[in-house]
């Protein structure tokens, strides 16, 4: 019995020693892991501090974007203006990716995504009063992901090298004379928009073979002290003239885009309730049967036989997939016994070449100088005689304009008259006041009382001369 007890004690002692050894090994492993983790954490912390120190040493390494301010949704503002009150509902939050795209529209989307993917986008924590890791009073940067939601006051930084990606769309410099000429076209300016009187012959948008265009010239001449260049929000034909509106900021440009894209369904509403009203003056060949009316004719685009040229035409089948309904109000202003008529036009929709096609095909009275849609009426064109009561100097500009513009001649007294189509007036909401109200702390606003801007552009020289010629001749 005693032997059995001794054997049991020796067996228990052996098991105890094994268990103790095992525990010692486990403790050693934990201590080693803890030591390794501490070293790694310390190394990571030191690396982070060194990286932060490197950021502070390399001044100018970062390009600082404007502090984030919640943008106003364009359709949201348009609905507020149309309804006369603030619409219900919350706006979609803005992510860091959207804010970078909004601040740097010239950067390719692929590059912006790459910056986020490589974790090269930072947020400045000192701009909104946050302080981390004891670096009080010093710039502190944190990586930001593309999906992070922006808060008011957040400041985003990008690598300064993105400045080298700036577009070279406008690769020419303007002289003081050219800048002075462009700025002389200015009709109105506030914090949201700039309105100009576009001269005939100047393209609105650049492209292949176009050296000078309004968007490029405005980007330099009308930027003033703004961080952004003005943006186009609608179009005018190259050979037409008149009121052209540009948005001074991306927010105002988006709102104006939404207003200019009014749907046909609301085009026949009361004139006083329309957010946008446009009036054109045109000199046409012939006289409409009715002195006043509404042209309702859908338009479509067709490709000519050469396979390259295209034109707009009226389509009878409204079920055609590519057709777009178009509405134009017209009214006779003055008629002449010589076969010319001055018309006032109010487009209720904004289709390409809408006025030119409606007058040429629907009314049968093409615009003077429209050789694309009224070529048949110019085959036997005969210039009008120059009235003796008018001085020859009246048909010459005071100074030769820059940018290769041909502003002399072009009246009905010439063999090849210019296009006689001019946007003389535009009435639209005061976008600057609307944005200020929506961004204020007040909840209820009466947008029905919102001020209207009345923009008026003087006639170009060739149309003034044609008007004077027809006024001097007997009717």
Residues labelled catalytic: 237
Sign of CA dihedral 231, 237, 239, 240: negative
What is the pairing mode between strands 299-303 and 310-314? antiparallel
Distances (CA, A) of 352 to 135, 234, 266: 59, 11, 19
* Contact (Cβ atoms closer than 8 angstroms) between residue 217 and residue 177: no
Task: Return the ∠ at Cα 436 (arms to 435 and 439), rounded to 5°.
Answer: 85
**CB burial of residue 228 (10 Å; 0-12, 13-18, 19+):** middle
- Return d(Cα 94, Cα 148) in angstroms, integer: 8
What is the pairing mode between strands 62-64 and 156-159? antiparallel
Tokens representing residue 28 in the block: 């050693």
Sign of CA dihedral 66, 69, 75, 81: negative
* Contact (Cβ atoms closer than 8 angstroms) between residue 179 and residue 129: no
- Return d(Cα 101, Cα 108) in angstroms, integer: 9
DSSP string across 326-392:
-EEEEEEEEE-TTSEEEEEEEESS--TTHHHHIIIIISS-PBTT-TTTSGGGGTT--PPPPPTTS-G
Sign of CA dihedral 42, 48, 53, 58: positive
Put the strands of the sheet holding 156-159 in their side by side order. 62-64, 156-159, 122-124, 141-143
Max intra-chain CA distance, the chain: 150
Nearest to 403 by CA among 179, 168, 171, 219: 179
Spatial neighbors of 273 by CB under 8 A, at least 6 apart, are 82
The enclosing H or E element of 131 equals none
């Amino acid at each position: 019995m005693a032997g059995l007890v001794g054997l049991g004690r020796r067996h228990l002692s052996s098991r105890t020693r094994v268990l103790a050894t095992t525990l010692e090994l486990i403790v050693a492993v934990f201590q080693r892991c803890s030591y390794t983790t501490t070293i790694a954490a310390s190394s990571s912390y030191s690396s982070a501090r060194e990286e932060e120190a490197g950021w502070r040493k390399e001044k100018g390494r970062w390009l600082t974007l404007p502090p984030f301010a919640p943008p106003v949704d364009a359709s949201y503002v348009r609905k507020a203006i149309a309804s006369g009150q603030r619409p219900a509902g919350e706006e979609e939050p803005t992510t860091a990716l959207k804010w970078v795209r909004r601040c740097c529209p010239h950067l390719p989307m692929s590059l912006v995504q790459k910056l986020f993917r490589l974790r090269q986008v930072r947020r400045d924590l000192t701009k909104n009063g946050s302080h981390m890791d004891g670096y009080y009073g010093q710039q502190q940067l944190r990586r930001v992901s593309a999906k992070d939601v922006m808060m008011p006051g957040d400041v985003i930084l990008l690598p300064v090298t993105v400045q080298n990606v700036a577009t070279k769309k406008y690769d020419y410099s303007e002289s003081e004379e050219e800048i002075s000429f462009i700025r002389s076209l200015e009709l109105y300016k506030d914090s949201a928009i700039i309105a100009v009187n576009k001269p005939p012959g100047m393209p609105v948008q650049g492209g292949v073979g176009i050296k000078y265009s309004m968007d490029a010239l405005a980007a330099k001449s009308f930027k003033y002290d703004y961080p952004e260049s003005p943006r186009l929000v609608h179009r005018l034909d190259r050979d037409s003239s008149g009121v052209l509106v540009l948005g001074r900021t991306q927010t105002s440009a988006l709102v104006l885009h939404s207003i200019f894209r009014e749907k046909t369904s609301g085009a026949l509403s009361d004139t006083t309730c329309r957010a946008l009203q446009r009036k054109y003056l045109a000199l046409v060949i012939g006289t409409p049967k009715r002195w006043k009316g509404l042209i309702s004719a859908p338009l479509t685009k067709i490709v000519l036989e050469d396979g390259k040229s295209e034109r707009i035409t009226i389509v009878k089948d409204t079920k055609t997939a590519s057709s777009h309904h178009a509405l134009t109000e017209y009214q006779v202003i003055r008629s002449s016994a010589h076969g010319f008529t001055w018309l006032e036009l109010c487009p209720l929709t904004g289709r390409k070449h809408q006025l030119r096609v409606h007058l040429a095909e629907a009314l049968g009275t093409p615009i003077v100088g429209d050789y694309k849609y009224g070529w048949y009426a110019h085959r036997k064109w005969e210039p009008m005689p120059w009235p003796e009561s008018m001085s020859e100097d009246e048909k010459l500009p005071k100074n030769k304009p820059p940018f290769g513009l041909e502003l002399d001649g072009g009246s009905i007294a010439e063999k090849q008259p210019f296009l006689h189509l001019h946007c003389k007036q535009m009435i639209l909401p005061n976008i600057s006041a609307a944005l200020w109200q929506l961004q204020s702390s007040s909840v209820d606003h009466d947008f029905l009382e919102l001020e209207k801007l009345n923009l008026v552009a003087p006639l170009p020289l060739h149309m003034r001369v044609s008007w004077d010629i027809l006024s001097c001749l007997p009717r």
